[in-house]
Amino acid sequence: MKIATFNVNGITARLPRLLEWLAESAPDVACLQELKTSDETFPLQAIEAAGYGAIWHGQKGFNGVAVLARGQQPVERLRGLPGDPDDTHSRYLEAQVGELIVGALYLPNGNPQPGPKFDYKLKWMQRLHEHAATLVGLDAPVVLAGDYNVVPTDAVRDIYSPKGWQNDALLQPESRQAYQRLLELGFTDALATLHGDAAMYTYWDYFRQRWERNAGLRIDHLLLNAPAAARLKAAEVDRFIRGREKPSDHAPVWVDLG
């Protein structure tokens, strides 16, 4: 079973790239982030024509997450993280596809920091931790997939060079500690587990020729509970999508659970 995550950076603008990728990579489950569209304008017809059922949690202009399933309809389990009834951001959507439980998430960026946006990021990560704790021990395979907006370490596998990024919310000790706490619950970072020290970037800014220079960051992650990790066969980044015309600044990332 191939499970993927892809921050599309605007599903309307990137729909050609998304449809190409679905046809070429053929994930069984795809978690999408940063739809930047309302529920009413989600391109369901095009997604269904590509052979996928879908559920989505839209928000006009920014945020937004979706779960697609090839040849079937995902069953919604949860819309939005528990813990803050006043949080109106569309950042979390949980679904069941067969035996798999998948959480599609778009974690807050947190910039500029310090400040209220960074405070919101950390509070959101705490809510994610509390909810993830209820999922990690399930007998079913669980995958938390999305744009975490966290660079886990300063190692080359996670960032081309930390110089110039030290003040960014993605690299702050508090962000990294919150990410590490998810792993300490019992989740496995699929890319890091299978690729060790190899650079496995998932995001390249549009500016300063960062794609051309491979000046990337690893901020899109798939975290697996023990039943999912026991089935882990492969984990890769579909870099080719980032190099096409009018791409997202992220590339899709996927795992094969055999």
Active site residues: 106, 147
CB of 68 within 8 A of CB of 32?
A: yes
Q: Parallel, antiparallel, or unpaired for β 142-147 and 188-189?
A: unpaired
Which residues are paired to 142 by β-bridges?
A: 101
Q: Which residue has the tokens 């990728």?
A: 21
Work out the burial of residue 136: count CB atoms within 10 Å of its CB; fewer than 13 is exposed, 13-18 middle, 19 or more buried: middle
* Nearest-10 Cα torsion for 244, 248, 251, 256: -100
Structure tokens at 232: 């882990």
Burial 71-108 (b: 16+ CB within 10 A, else e): eeebeeeeebbeeeeebebbbbbbbebeebbbbbbbbb
DSSP letter at 197 equals T
Alpha helical stretches, state H, the chain: 15-25, 44-49, 116-135, 173-185, 190-195, 226-229
Q: How far apart are CA 14 and CA 18, in angstroms?
A: 6
Residue 55: phi and psi, rounded to 5, are: -125, 155
